[in-house]
């Protein structure tokens, strides 16, 4: 097969791109038209040049439009033409150099198309625009100086494109192949919308989202300034990537680093973070970004909720536990000596970025602990999802990226539905309180271990899930087989499923004492989430202390 024959072959787009147009953006001289024509031919799609379509609609040239009506009127017309083109059948569309700078046009491209930035260095652009004085922006002045100014102004906005292809002095055919390969390799992240009475935001799930954080967050940041709160361990692993990803779109960042571990989730740490935010002279439009696990997310979120009576907040969870649980729903809090999460606020993020590539840096124990919250979602109200967990749970904890992304999306979707119906946990019987399945026991176990890492939150919840189903079976709400099924699956993924697996002697009366101090106590009565079977959870406040004591003693607790 000859090279020319290969170029004429039509290549089918993957299903993820089916039905979507392709937009090429970049400065004048980047090759948008020449590459666009070749790309359209390779894909079997029609090609359109936005500038040519504008001239056709206006009946005059672009320079004449600028001269007669000015740039503002030109941009208005450009916006309408692009909207019309992208609302039709799929095509390859070359934007004019300034089209993508318009916020409305970017929003249209984001919804209707896949955008590709042809990023060229200045020397290449200067050579290509030589002799093109008819372009309005090059009419007066040195081409190099004008292009450099445009690079400074526009490249941070072009960086919001879905795909970036670096190109220089290669032939148009070579560049087209690079663009095509990048397009075929691009995997759009999974998206989930959390719709609440107070606000709406997206959870974005996928690989290497930190590299593209600026592009993903740009539509949600009211100001191109952010303060990143992280812990020392996570910062060493992921902070440089996030800072660079934000810098590509012109976001200026500061950092606040706290010690790793549950001890940072305290009133003292909260006040220290708050002082640093105020010292940095944050404004009401400055965004606080939480980069880390649940501790950082809760701490940074509470600080964001209270600094200047509330500043924008973004969650970038880096653990499986935080990606499926604490980053979604708006609960922020710190611990006190009297218990966990007793001081805090409901405060929703502007966006959640769940980067699955960060899970590669987790210790296996941390990854398994996060899985407890995944299985919990199915046990509460989605029996089909729990069946999925039984089939794919081992893949999630082994690092199967597709299984992880699907687990995160499905768990978050379930939680979003529950939170959407009960944002502030005001329905005691069938609302958000159901998300506490396993937590009454789990938090008591965490308090017994002292939040020092001896027992991770997810491990406490894992044991708690088994205890909740055993208590349900003991009270006649579900079968013993259901409890056995839960315990069997939790153990199969490597989590502690029963108290006996903790290898620690625990007093039943001490655990019950911890439960009495839990924030889920109502009118002095313990509130449990029980189950009538897999996916059939309900809340109950009439469980007797004797029944709980009997269960704990049967599980090996001392008096």
Q: What is the pLDDT of residues 375-390, one digit of tens each?
A: 999 999 999 999 999 9
439, 470, 489, 514: which one is catalytic?
A: 439
DSSP code, position 286: P
> CA 528 to CA 437: how far, in whole Å?
8
Residue 489 appears among annotated catalytic residues: no
Secondary structure (H, E, C), 205-267: EECCCHHHHHHHHHHHCCCCEEEEEEEHHHHHHHHHHHHHHHHCCCCEEEEEEECCCHHHCEH
CA distances from 156 to 125, 215, 536 (A): 17, 9, 49
Looking up tokens 């992240």 gives 189
Mean pLDDT across the stretch 537-556? 93
Mean pLDDT across the stretch 508-531? 83
Phi, psi of 186 (to 5 degrees): -70, 130
Residue 268 appears among annotated catalytic residues: no
Amino acid 133: pLDDT: 55
48, 331, 470, 520: which one is catalytic?
A: 331
* DSSP 3-state of 124: helix
> CA 525 to CA 542: how far, in whole Å?
8
Lowest mean pLDDT among 229-238, 244-253, 453-462: 453-462
Percent of the chain clearing pLDDT 90 (strictly above): 80
Residue 373 appears among annotated catalytic residues: yes
Question: In whole numbers, what is the pLDDT of the chain averaged over residues?
Answer: 93
38, 190, 335, 436: which one is catalytic?
A: 436
Query: Domain residues of the chain, as ranges?
Result: 3-185, 190-362, 423-554
* DSSP 3-state of 27: coil
Which one, of 363, 348, 356, lies nearest residue 415 by Cα?
348
The set of residues, in sequence order, having a beta carbon less than 8 Å from that of 52 and lying 6+ positions away, is none
**Is residue 453 scored above 80 in pLDDT?**
no
- Which band of pLDDT confidence, cut at 50, 70 and 90, is reported for residue 3? very low
The set of residues, in sequence order, having a beta carbon less than 8 Å from that of 350 and lying 6+ positions away, is 201, 217, 220, 221, 287, 312, 313, 314
CB atoms within 10 A of CB 381: 21
Residue 135 appears among annotated catalytic residues: no
Higher pLDDT, 16 or 19: 19
Domain range 190-362, CATH class: alpha beta
Beta carbons of 34 and 172 less than 8 angstroms apart: yes
Amino acid 523: pLDDT: 63
Do the domains 3-185 and 190-362 sit in the same CATH topology, yes or no?
Answer: yes
Residue 143 appears among annotated catalytic residues: no
Architecture in CATH for domain 3-185: 3-Layer(aba) Sandwich (3.40)
Longest Cα–Cα distance in the chain: 90
238, 368, 415, 470: which one is catalytic?
A: 415
Which stretches of 97-142 are DSSP H helices?
Answer: 103-112, 122-129
- Which band of pLDDT confidence, cut at 50, 70 and 90, is reported for residue 506? very high
* DSSP 3-state of 9: coil
Element (H, E) at 81: helix 62-86
Looking up tokens 């579900």 gives 478
Residue 309 appears among annotated catalytic residues: yes
Q: How do residues 186-227 score in pLDDT, each as one tens digit?
A: 999 999 999 999 999 999 999 999 999 999 999 999 999 999
Find the radius of gyration of the CA atoms of the chain: 28
**Is residue 307 scored above 90 in pLDDT?**
yes
Mean pLDDT across the stretch 265-272? 97
Residue 281 appears among annotated catalytic residues: no
The set of residues, in sequence order, having a beta carbon less than 8 Å from that of 510 and lying 6+ positions away, is 448
- Which band of pLDDT confidence, cut at 50, 70 and 90, is reported for residue 61? confident
Domain 423-554 fold: Dehydroquinate synthase-like, alpha domain (1.20.1090)
> CA 416 to CA 461: how far, in whole Å?
20
């Amino acid at each position: 097969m000859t090279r020319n024959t290969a170029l004429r072959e039509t290549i089918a787009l993957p299903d993820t791109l089916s039905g979507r147009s392709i937009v090429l953006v970049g400065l004048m001289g980047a090759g948008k038209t020449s590459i666009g024509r070749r790309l359209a031919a390779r894909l079997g799609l029609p090609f359109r040049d936005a500038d040519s379509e504008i001239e056709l609609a206006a009946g005059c040239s672009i320079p004449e439009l600028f001269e007669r009506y000015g740039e503002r009127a030109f941009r208005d017309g450009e916006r309408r033409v692009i909207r019309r083109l992208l609302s039709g059948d799929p095509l390859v569309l070359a934007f004019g150099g300034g089209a993508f700078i318009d916020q409305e046009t970017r929003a249209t491209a984001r919804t209707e198309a896949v955008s590709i930035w042809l990023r060229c260095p200045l020397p290449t652009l200067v050579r290509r625009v030589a002799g093109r004085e008819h372009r309005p922006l090059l009419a007066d002045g040195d081409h190099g100086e004008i292009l450099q100014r445009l690079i400074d102004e526009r490249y941070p906005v072009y960086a919001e494109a879905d795909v970036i292809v670096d190109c220089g002095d290669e032939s148009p055919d070579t560049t087209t192949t690079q663009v095509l390969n990048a397009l075929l390799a691009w995997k759009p992240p999974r998206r989930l919308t959390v719709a609440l009475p107070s606000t709406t935001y997206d959870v974005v799930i996928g690989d290497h989202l930190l590299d593209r954080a600026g592009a993903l967050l740009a539509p949600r940041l009211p100001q191109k300034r952010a303060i990143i709160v992280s812990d020392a361990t996570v910062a060493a692993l992921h902070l440089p990537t996030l800072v660079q990803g934000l810098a590509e779109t012109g976001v200026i960042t500061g950092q606040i680093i706290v010690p790793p571990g549950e001890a940072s989730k305290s009133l003292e740490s909260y006040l220290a973070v708050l002082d640093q935010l105020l010292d940095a002279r944050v404004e009401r439009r400055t965004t606080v970004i939480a980069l880390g696990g649940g501790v950082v997310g809760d701490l940074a979120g509470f600080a964001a909720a209270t600094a200047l009576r509330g500043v924008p907040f973004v969650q970038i969870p880096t653990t499986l536990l935080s990606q499926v649980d604490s980053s979604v729903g708006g609960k922020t809090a710190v611990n006190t000596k009297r218990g966990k999460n007793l001081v805090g606020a409901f405060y929703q993020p502007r966006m959640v970025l769940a980067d699955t590539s960060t899970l590669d840096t987790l210790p296996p124990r941390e990854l398994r602990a996060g899985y407890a919250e995944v299985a919990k979602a199915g046990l509460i109200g989605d029996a089909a999802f729990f069946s999925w967990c039984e089939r794919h749970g081992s893949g999630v904890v082994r690092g199967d990226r597709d299984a992880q992304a699907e687990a995160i999306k499905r768990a978050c979707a379930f939680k979003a539905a529950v939170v959407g119906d009960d944002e502030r946990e005001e329905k005691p019987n069938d609302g958000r309180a159901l998300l506490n399945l396993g937590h009454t026991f789990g938090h008591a176990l965490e308090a017994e271990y002292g939040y020092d890492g001896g027992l991770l939150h997810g491990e406490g919840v894992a044991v708690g899930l088994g205890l909740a189903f055993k208590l349900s079976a003991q009270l006649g709400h579900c079968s013993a087989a259901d409890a056995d099924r839960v315990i069997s699956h939790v153990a199969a993924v490597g989590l502690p499923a029963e108290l006996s697996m903790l290898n620690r002697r625990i007093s039943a009366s001490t655990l019950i004492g911890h439960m009495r101090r839990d924030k889920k106590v109502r009118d002095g009565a313990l509130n449990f989430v029980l189950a009538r079977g897999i996916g059939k959870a309900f809340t109950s406040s009439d469980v007797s202390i004797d029944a709980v004591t009997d269960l704990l003693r049967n599980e090996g607790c001392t008096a």
